[in-house]
Structure formats: structure tokens, C-alpha cells
Chain A
């Protein structure tokens, strides 16, 4: 039935709000919706064909008008569903960019290892968008001081030094306060700024 495919698409977007990673791009489903919309358009063109219009009007038959109306509504609904789906995904990509984290694992679940790359579930236009949006943020940030990282934590800072636990091997990092060897399950007392990115990316957990 008309609209079923679009319904599935919206349901997919809704489901992905609950997931920590972005699911696979629904290329096939989207193609189906586009085809359906174009079929509807063909039907509208057929219905607005002068011959048919004059024929039905003379008979006082309003079925055609009704069908035309429904087709228009269905087409618009399909478009809205497509836009809603893509917008939701674009927003997820923006969110990932602001987290400095394009691997697709959000910090909501620090236990999750950043293994499955989000890039796998994006289609190439989305990848392009993600890349460009990253550049855009970097360019905007350039207008300000170096120490002002706009992608930084949006929680108010409390301490300069914090305790962290390593969730995944990072290797050696060098800071003003010496060299740390961050191996899994070890704990450190470090300057927050030195490890902020690693926390965002899910390598470290703040204690």
C-alpha cells in the first residue's frame, strides 16, 4: 500500500534513536519510496490529462478529483518521511563531529569498544557530508583562541586533575607532567585537558 515503505523508514529512524551506533543506510528502501513517488506523479499527470478531466467533469464524477488529492498527499508524505530520515541521520553525524568521535560509538556507553566503524553504515554521500561538516567546525573554531576548543566537554569543569581508568589500550602519551603508559585496566591521575579527547572517544573512563 502507498506509504508503507515510508512508514518503515521512519520506524527505522525512530529505532536508531535508541542505539549507540548509527544503523546501516536503507538504500533499497529509499529507492522504493522514490519509485513509488514517481509512480504517483505519473498517475497525477494521467489524471490531470485534459481529456480525462473534461470527460469526468461532464459526468459530474468526483472520484478522479478525490484520487488526485490522495495522490498528492501521499507524495508529500513520502517526501517528508525521506527528509525526516535523512535529517535525523545528519544530526547524528553532526553530533559525532562535535564529539571528535567519528567512529560512531557515543560516550553514553563507555564500555563499548570502538570497533565497528560508523563509516561502514554510511553511504558515500553521508561520508562526504561528515567530512565536510568536520572541516566546517574546524574552520569556525579557528576564529577563536587555540585554547578554546569548541568541541570540548559541555559539562562545566570541576577539577583540573582527574582520575581515569583505561578501557582500551592507548599506548604512551606524553604530557607536561611526564609520560604515561595507558594500558587497559590501569588507573591514572592526569590533567583533564591532556586526556579530554581520549575520554570522548571512549578509550578512558572518568572516575
Chain B
């Protein structure tokens, strides 16, 4: 049944629907969005919201592409023309995989870095996908086990904590939300924003350097993108 659905979906997806909304365009938009997500994630100091739906859509499409490659490479001898097409599909697949890989691994590296901060901050946990949460918990567990076994358990009790904020230096590593970032404005922000008591107007297509904390919200809505 699933196979039929795929074929049907493909047919539906390939034609322009009556409302004039082009599915092909939607696919392209998804890919552009993924590229933007990768850049945002790499430039932002903290972990951004996980875009589950977008990733699901793209992963589903890559599955179709893999099927396409598998089916057609079996009949390689019959049709010579398909060889080039196969190469193009395969390279495209590799590129999309690369984007997803970079996106997920950038997130994981930030999750590893700010584990304690994220765990202590309910809002941050909500930004992660369920598998990222379980990765974070599990990794923290094995890492603390390592510390404990190696030396922590043999130190005086007073020093065994891993989230100690006393003694002048906090052990919890936090993202620097005031980090300056380069941004490009996608849509003019209707009201000027306040940066250190200074009003800044953000006009469409303008490129600015601003503190991340000042424009965080607009990145989430998509009115501003990081570059």
C-alpha cells in the first residue's frame, strides 16, 4: 500500500495544483530553508529550535531518491541515458546528506558544550529533539562516570560537585548570548529595536553586526537570518 502512496504522492507533487501552489517550489524552499538552518545554527552561540517537520520532509525525500538510485542502477545496461541522471541524483543526495550531517553535528557539539546549562534550563531542553535529549542525558552520564571513577570520588566530598558555582568561578559553561553576529534582514522590522539604549532600524536586505541577544527573536521568526 505504501508503494502506491509514494507513486500517488509523486504524481500529486509533480503537478502544479489548482491553487497555483507549486510543489516543486515547496521542495526547493525546504532545501533553501535547510541551508539557512545550517548557517544559523553554526553562527548562533546557543542551540536553536529543532525543526523536526522540515527534517522529516527532507529525510522522506532522500529515502525516495535512494530508492530511485537502487532501482535504476540495476537496469544500468538497458538504458544508457539514465547513467548521467543517476550521477546527478546521487551527488544531490550526497549534498543534502552533508547539510543534514552538518546541521545535526553542529547541534550536538553545542549540546555537549552546554549540557549542564541546558539541563538546568527547561526552555532550552524544549528546543532539542527527543533523540538529542536522550543523547545529551546519556553522554552526560558516561562523562560524569568517567570523572568520578578517574578522580572525583577520591577527592574530599566538598569538591565532588560538577555544577559548583562557588569559589569565584562558575563551573557551568554558558553560551555568550551577547556575542556579535553578522545578520541580513529578510523582512523590514516594523519597529526599531533597542540596542544598548540606541534605536536601530532594520531595513530589508540590510546587513548589520548586532549582539545576538538583541535579534534572537527575529531569527526564530525568520525575519532576520545569520550570515
- A176 vs B151: C-alpha distance in the bound complex, in angstroms? 50
Q: Are A41 and B156 in touch, CB under 8 angstroms?
A: yes
* Interface check B98, CB cutoff 8 A: yes
Interface stretch of the complex, out of B86-94, B177-185, B212-220:
B86-94
Whole-angstrom CA separation of A147 from B65 in the bound complex: 11
Q: Are A125 and B102 in contact (CB under 8 A)?
A: no
Interface on chain B toward A: helix, strand, loop, or mixed SS? Answer: helix
Chain B residues near A79 (CB, 8 Å)?
A: 155, 159
Interface size class of A (residues with CB under 8 A): 35 or more
Interface contact A76-B167, CB-CB below 8 Å: yes
CB distance from B150 to the nearest CB of A (A): 5
Given the known interface contacts A150-B101, A156-B98, the answer about A82 and B146 at a Cβ–Cβ threshold of 8 Å is no
Per the bound structure, the CA–CA distance linking A153 and B101 in Å amounts to 9
User: How many residues belonging to B are interface residues under a CB distance threshold of 8 Å?
Assistant: 39
Q: Return the contact of B95 from the options A132, A140, A145, A157 (Cβ within 8 A).
A: A157
* A-side contacts of B119, CB under 8 Å: none
Known: A79-B155, A160-B91. A148 touches B62 (CB 8 A): yes
Query: Are A38 and B156 also in contact (CB < 8 A) when A94-B112, A132-B142, A140-B131 are?
Result: yes
6 additional contacts, CB 8 Å, given A86-B150, A129-B143, A147-B93? A34-B154, A38-B155, A73-B167, A145-B59, A147-B66, A154-B105
- A residues in contact (CB < 8 Å) with B: 30, 33-34, 37-38, 41, 72-73, 75-76, 79-80, 82-83, 86, 90, 94, 98, 123, 125-126, 128-129, 132-133, 136, 139-140, 143-145, 147-150, 152-154, 156-157, 159-160, 176, 192-193
